[in-house]
Structure 1
Amino acid sequence: MRSRVALEPLAEEPGGGEEEAARRRSGLHAALHRWARLLSGGAAGDDARPAADLRGLLSVLACPLSPVPLLPRLPRHVASSAQYIIEQFRATTGCGKLEDGAVKSMYASGRVRLSMLQEPGGGGGSGVIGSGGGRGHEGSFVLWQLAPSMWLLEMSVAGQSVAAGSDGRVAWRRTPWLGAHAARGGSRPLRRALQGLDPVTIASIFSTAEHAGEKEVDGEDCFVLRLDVGPSVLSSWSDGTAETTIASAVSDYRAVDGGVAVAHAGTSTAHLARFGVGVRAARVVARMEESWTIDDVAFNVPGLGPDAFIPPEEVRRSRSYGAAIGGGK
């Protein structure tokens, strides 16, 4: 199965407050300015570029969220081509085995390689940034999930560690350069769930999609499902100075624990466009790539409960977290 959909990265900046406003000068914005300086020769290129690249890669690819929340389980009936495709996907991957109550939690661990790639061309006055030869940074990750709105991801790449999680109401992220903060938009699935790791989440998110035809991908005929998310919703989750599109291809589906099919390998390519003041060109474009493999998958992890998904203290103290909790009551 191959999916292609625009996905928002987990927001680097929560909204409101002097402390939170100061953080806007950190994180992804700082990395993008750094790349722009490197592009114009304003920094020590060979020594500075790998660190800037790694920070940008982790900011964009490590733990972005799905563009839509989990949808309520709808009555299953085939009323359209898209719903027929989803039902076939459900049957093939064994979603029913995960939905009958027997599976409450999930664990996965794997390896990841992140690369900043050189974008050919550019055109239109765009600046193009990257590490020239696609220098890679290797690492590993672990993911825990509980029924399925609670999740926790930890990833370590080239000595840098990031984490992200959701307690079912609020999603958050922690990085060495920005600390821990709540994401805009409330709780949503992790993008990695859309990479084949969780077929139930995939079926839920695409249950309202439209069938947009067929397309040959890597020599195979594939169905194309289109899922539209309103621009007002996306803009409410970002500051409008960057735009990210991520395309993922998954493979190596294997039966796990009673026949549930889980993808054990895949790649994602992200195109990040940076707009606004302080960028040397009117539009700076970065192309990034992630490849990943799953080493271990297990269901019903002993002892895994809601307490494992409580956000860090600094997230719980933030006004954005309090507002999200209050809005959910």
Structure 2
Amino acid sequence: MRKLCPNFDREDGLDTVLEVPIPEEMFPSHKSTSLSWQNVKSWMKSNPERSATSIFGGRNTEIQLLLGVVGAPLIPLPVRCDRHPINQSIKDHPIEASMAKYIVQQYIAAAGGETALNSIDSMYAMGKVRMVTSEFSAGEVCKNKAMKVKGVRHGGGEMGGFVLWQKRPELWCLELVVSGCKISAGSDGVVAWRQTPWHHSHASRGPPRPLRRALQGLDPRSTANLFSNSVCIGEKTINEEDCFILKLETETSTLRARSSRNVEIMRHTVWGYFSQRTGLLVQLADTHLLRIKSSADDSIFWETTMESLIQDYRTIDGVNIAHAGTTAVSLFRFGENSESHSRTRMEERWTIEEVDFNIKGLSTDCFLPPGDLKKVDEEGCDVVVGSNTKLPFKIPAASSRVSAAKVVAIDVDDSYNIDDDDDDEL
């Protein structure tokens, strides 16, 4: 990935340091340097009129959906900053909880051991991503013919890069650029926030929570702390690895803190799949169910499921860090009549290019929220329902008309502007 942009205006001018490095794939080897950078400038300038393969018609609409859902999701509950996650006897708990604590102990040892993990005061990671909305289906129980595009495994999707800084699970900052659209997200230990080009800065409801991307093999200590109170529910083979399954349910009080009068988070569950052979985390999965009151009697339900396959572990300063992986997302909208049902699938493939620990000069000032941060909308549970922004999703005439409210993922960690052609949709 390239971190510097040449100065083409002055030969003796200094290069510009990019806030977010650009993937090397944006620089074809057969083209000149100046022409390659012109392509990058075009890539950085988001143009809603550009034609590209998109199941929603508009490329920018698809990018907004991808960044809103896959870009910076949060773990459903706070994770304590504890350097000794397993400090009590495993014999003092039910068998399922005792097994989970033993598996977490093995994971700590496999990740590098308590001494190595406890020596980490801060972390920096830089990597690249490729995202795509791979499938959309609508209609009665989503039985209509699904529209599909080339997945990330076959070179489809949008390219981008990201930089992550972290001191604690609740003290982090992420910058992610995908095809000219940049989102920033972070937590200062008091509030978690997000900033996008198409929406004002906004805070998430409830206590500050860790970034899910950090627990995808980048932060073993927080992963151990997260699953220290889980239960073992069985075994499963993931990617030809026999794994133990650890399950963690979000407490009712936490769900209530993230809910509001019109939007209720009914459940949010996390699963960790730990290899029986290596002890390392192989897959991280979570699913949450959201209910939105659309009228006095009707409700719309959104079920979001994310499964991240974590791969390519390498030792960095004595700690095993995952350097690659894929995330598959499924968004299912149901409720009302069957014709309003829809399912959207997204994919992300990421690669970590650089990782470093104990960053000098990384103070708490680096995690301050934007100056224009707005408080959480009490009526929306981080979901803004209004007509401020219309997302021009286009579905072929052969299928039923699908509005933005039927497609956009309602994620309580983000504030989506949902506009619908029908007033009675929400």
Distance 2:208 2:322 in 1: 24
Query: Is 1:78 paired with 2:90?
Result: yes
Question: Please, which of 258, 262, 275 is the counterpart of residue 321 of structure 2?
Answer: 262
Kindly indicate whether residue 193 of structure 2 is the aligned counterpart of residue 172 of structure 1: yes
**1:130 CA displacement:** 5.6
Which residue of structure 2 aligns with residue 207 of structure 1? 228
Q: 1:115 to 1:250 in 2, by over 3 A?
A: same
1:56 aligns with 2:74: no
CA distance 1:223–1:45, change in 2 (3 Å): closer
Does the CA-based 8 Å contact 1:140-1:157 persist in structure 2?
yes
**What TM-score comes out, normalization by structure 2 length?**
0.59
Unaligned runs of 5+ in 1: 1-43, 322-329
Change (3 A) 1:266 1:289: same
Which consecutive unaligned segments of at least 5 residues does structure 2 have? 1-52, 92-97, 264-290, 293-301, 379-426
Contact 1:129 1:284 in 2 (8 A): no
3-state SS of paired residue (2:58): helix
After superposition, the Cα gap between the structure-2 partners of 1:271 and 1:46, relative to the gap in structure 1 and judged at 3 Å, is closer
Percent identity, please.
Answer: 42
Letter in 2 for 1:78: I
Q: Hey, what does 1:7 align to over in structure 2?
A: none
**Alpha-carbon separation, structure 2, partners of 1:184 and 1:129:** 34
Contact 1:127 1:281 in 2 (8 A): no
Question: What aligned pairs does 1:206-285 form with structure 2 within 5 A after superposition?
Answer: 206-230=227-251, 233-234=254-255, 236-237=257-258, 239=263, 240-241=291-292, 242-257=302-317, 259-275=318-334, 281-285=339-343
Q: Does 1:151 align with 2:172?
A: yes
| Structure number with bigger Rg | 2
Size of the alignment, in residue pairs? 274
Q: Shift of residue 302 of structure 1?
A: 1.4
The structure-2 alpha-carbon separation of the partners of 1:235 and 1:264, relative to structure 1 and needing over 3 Å to count, comes to: same
Partner Cα separation in structure 2 for residue 180 and residue 286 of structure 1: 26
Mapping for residues 108-123 of structure 1, pairs under 5 Å: 108-118=125-135
What's the CA shift string for 1:123-173, capped at 9, x where partnerless?
625678765334400100000001332000000001110010000111000
Q: Tell me, yes or no, if the aligned pair for 2:123 and 2:356 is still in contact at 8 Å.
A: yes
TM superposition shift of 1:78: 2.9
Deviations 1:83-121 (A, max 9, x none): 110000001102523553x32110000000101112589
Q: Does 1:288 align with 2:346?
A: yes
> Partner amino acid for 1:117?
S
In the aligned structure 1, how far is the partner of 2:115 from the partner of 2:215?
Answer: 18
**Code of the aligned partner of 2:58:** R
Hey, what's the Cα distance between the residues in 1 that align with 2:72 and 2:235?
Answer: 30
2:122 corresponds to 1:105: yes
Instruction: Report the secondary structure of 2:249's partner residue.
Output: coil
Q: Structure 1 residues 47 and 103 mapped into 2: Cα distance closer, same or farther (>3 Å)?
A: closer
**Deviation at 1:284?**
1.5
Q: Is the 8 A contact 2:55 2:149 kept in 1?
A: no
Moved more, 289-298 or 112-121: 112-121
Q: Give how far 1:225 is off.
A: 0.7
TM-score normalised to structure 1 length: 0.75
How many Å separate the matches in 1 of 2:376 and 2:331?
29
Letter in 1 for 2:306: I
Structure possessing the higher relative contact order (Cα contacts under 8 Å, 6 or more residues apart): 1
Choose the corresponding residue for 1:137, options 155, 158, 164. 158
1:163 pairs, out of 184, 188, 191, with 184
TM-superposed CA distance for 1:282, in Å, is 2.2
CA deviations 1:259-284 (Å, max 9, x no partner) are: 1010000111111123468x993222
Code of the residue aligned with 2:333 in structure 1: it is: R
1:181 is aligned to 2:202: yes
Decide whether aligned partners of structure 1 residues 45 and 137 sit closer, same or farther in structure 2, where only a CA change above 3 A counts.
Answer: closer
Higher helix proportion: 1
Aligned counterparts of 2:304 and 2:55: Cα–Cα separation in 1: 26
Structure-2 residue corresponding to 1:66: 75
Contact residue 272 and residue 287 of structure 1 kept, 8 A: yes
The equivalent of 2:375 in structure 1 is: 318
SS of residue paired to 2:90: coil
Q: Is the 8 A contact 2:205 2:376 kept in 1?
A: no
Q: Which moved more, 1:294-303 or 1:128-137?
A: 128-137
Please give the per-residue CA displacement for 1:45-73, whole angstroms capped at 9, x wherever unaligned: 77833222111110000001001111364
SS of 1:314's equivalent in the other structure is coil
Change beyond 3 A, Cα 1:226–1:148: closer
Q: Structure 2: how far apart are the matches of 1:306 and 1:98? A: 23
